[in-house]
Structure 1
Amino acid sequence: MNAVPAAIAGAAVFTWLGMVLAISFLEAPLKFRAPGVTVALGLGIGRLVFRALNTVEAVLAVAVAVAVAAGSPGASVTALTAVAVLLLVVQLAAVRPVLNRRSDRVLAGEEAPRSRAHVVYIALELLKVIALIALGVTALATAV
């Protein structure tokens, strides 16, 4: 992969990775442990935070895809880019709507059972973290 696109892709990938780690694996679980944070309040905050995160993720995914496409990538960089982007698309198109419907019900005062979609979202986040680490390292390592 050419050096400048590889550097841009690497920077975008590791920024994306840092945001996912900070929000999904640090902020999200900790907010519910803060004193006075109810489930409804935590869900309301979480929806705002994840909407912002997902918007930035989409922008970074486009930046990565453009940089990779411009950089004469090898098959591994192309495949890892596709995996990371696909995982994000699945989260946004398939899992987030289910989670949003459940949080709407909880915020409306309904007692809703725990959602399996939440576990699916976390599993996809873990896979995305692995894909982003592999992509960032591979893109930078293959820079010509």
Structure 2
Amino acid sequence: MLIKTTHAPRCARALMLLIPPIWLGLIIGISFIEAPLKFTAPGITIPLGLGIGRRVFLAMNIAEVILGVLLLIALISMWRNHRRQELPNFGKMQRYSFIALILLLIKTAIIRPLLAVHTDRVLEGSFEGGSTTHYYYIGVEAILFVVLLLLMVSAIRGLIPPTAAIDGVAKNNKEASEH
């Protein structure tokens, strides 16, 4: 049961609660697990790993953009209702959402195109690999990870009742079962 947020659209609340953990799972699965392990697999050459990585990260980026758009829609929907009746923790949800969207924009519009130039050169054979751009990508991804964790915690604290309310429900249920 959600408290003090019944005026906020249910779909927007659900999106605000679901998008951060889904996005975090995507980052963990692709950036933190798949990408590093890919190059340690037997028979994977640098060009083959780069080719696979480009496709995987393109798919991940498309999924992230979709999640970002859904997050923005949820945020706008909640903001419209927040103006009428204050939502707990909405300021933090708003701040972390905007930071996540800005980081996504930086990754998509600046860093990925620069990485594409580097990987093109490696695939042509005119460059050995290893660019500082990868470190920028990793840095932005790590910051995004932390921001999404903070967004998830803020959304949970703002949209799910505190334990006192849950204890009260449990107490009422216990009393009802005794009668």
What's the % identity of the aligned pairs?
37
Aligned to 1:101: 117
For structure 2, the 5+ residue unaligned runs are: 161-179
Which residue of 100, 122, 131 maps to 2:147?
Answer: 131
Q: Are 2:14 and 1:7 aligned?
A: yes
Comparing 69-78 with 49-58, which one deviates more in the overlay?
A: 69-78
How far is the alpha carbon of 1:3 from its aligned partner? 6.9
Comparing 10-19 with 109-118, which one deviates more in the overlay?
A: 109-118
Aligned to 1:82: 98
RMSD: 1.5
Question: Quick one: structure 1 residues 70 and 40, their matched pair in 2 at CA, closer, same or farther if it must change by over 3 Å?
Answer: same
Report the 3-state secondary structure (helix = DSSP H, G, I; strand = E; otherwise coil) of the residue aligned with 2:42.
coil
Aligned to 2:33: 26
Q: Distance in 2 between matches of 1:7 and 1:19?
A: 18
Do 2:119 and 2:129's aligned partners in 1 also have CA atoms closer than 8 Å? no
Higher relative contact order (CA 8 A, sep 6+): 1
Aligned to 2:69: 62
Q: Distance in 2 between matches of 1:59 and 1:99?
A: 21
How far is the alpha carbon of 1:70 from its aligned partner? 1.0
Q: Distance in 2 between matches of 1:10 and 1:39?
A: 39
TM-score (norm 1): 0.94
Do 1:102 and 1:112's aligned partners in 2 also have CA atoms closer than 8 Å? no
Question: Quick one: structure 1 residues 18 and 8, their matched pair in 2 at CA, closer, same or farther if it must change by over 3 Å?
Answer: same
Which residue of 123, 131, 136 maps to 1:115?
Answer: 131
Partner letter of residue 27 of structure 1? E
How far is the alpha carbon of 1:141 from its aligned partner? 1.4
Aligned length: 144
Look at both structures and tell me which one has the larger radius of gyration over its CA atoms: 2
Partner letter of residue 87 of structure 1? L
Q: Are 2:20 and 1:52 aligned?
A: no
TM-score (norm 2): 0.76
Report the 3-state secondary structure (helix = DSSP H, G, I; strand = E; otherwise coil) of the residue aligned with 2:159.
coil
